Amino acid sequence: MKWINDFVELLLPKICAACGKPLEKNENCICTHCIAELPLTNYHLYDDNPVAQVFWGRVNIQAATALLYFHKKGRTQHLLHNLKYNKRKDVGLFLGKLLANQMETHPILSTVDIIVPVPLHHKRLTERGYNQAECFAEGIADVLNKKVCPNLLKRSKETTTQTRKTREQRWQNVSDAFIATEDNEYHGKHFLLVDDVLTTGATLEACAQAILKIPQTKVSIAVIAKA
């Protein structure tokens, strides 16, 4: 009943994941002010954007984009922190839908067939209970009416955290760390590989290389933010 929902929200008000202020009744996940102030990259408008450039000469991708700029202590950092550590899965869904609205008019990104989240390390998955990249993927899929395959990629070896590693060390850590499921239904498909943050691109590169071993496949990349 509505009065029960109103009472619950009075005791436990919904909080904006970007600024921490209570949301109004007509707001969802992020308040209207923060939505207006989101640091959108608009990278989808440029083929040679900084995300695409990360992979030049490293792996053959069709297109790449990031939804937001990352600034320390800014809205993007607050959103990612809530998504990853405060069980705010709704943040991933919200941002995924926001990116999907951009993708709908993109000549390449609009042609993806299957969305694949970068798999989370099993220890992190156990601790967190969910994969934040999968939440993002589900948001994109909801708008574009596409299939999400969270189990397409498997880790073939144990890796350590990428934090504080150099670009070369990151690549050595994840090189050949992923394998893609071999299934005829995936042949010739265009995959959208998604993750929360792009730093050096080593993990995304390794995942893309694994997917491209499936016959006649294509890969594009989308992330929430570029660090």
Give the mean pLDDT per block of 10 residues along the chain (227 residues): 43 85 94 97 97 97 98 95 96 98 97 96 87 98 97 75 55 71 93 96 94 97 96
Q: Is residue 5 part of a domain?
A: no
How many structural domains are present in the chain? 1
Q: Is residue 205 part of a domain?
A: yes
Q: Is residue 131 part of a domain?
A: yes
Q: Is residue 23 part of a domain?
A: no
**Under DSSP, is residue 222 helix (H, G, I), strand (E, B) or coil?**
strand
Strands 64-69 and 178-180: unpaired
The CATH number assigned to the domain holding 177 equals 3.40.50.2020
Residue 222: the pLDDT is 98
Q: Is residue 109 part of a domain?
A: yes
Nearest to 120 by CA among 111, 129, 112: 129
Q: Is residue 204 part of a domain?
A: yes
Residue 122: the pLDDT is 81
Q: Tell me the Cα Rg of the chain.
A: 18
Q: Is residue 153 part of a domain?
A: yes
Range(s) of the domain holding residue 130: 39-226
Residue 165: the pLDDT is 52
In whole angstroms, what is the distance from residue 188 CA to residue 145 CA?
19
> Residues of 162-182 as b/e, b for ≥16 C-beta within 10 angstroms?
beebeeeebbebbeebbebee
Residue 176: the pLDDT is 72
Q: Which two tokens stand for residue 90?
A: 């709704």
Residue 1: the pLDDT is 47
Q: Is residue 15 part of a domain?
A: no
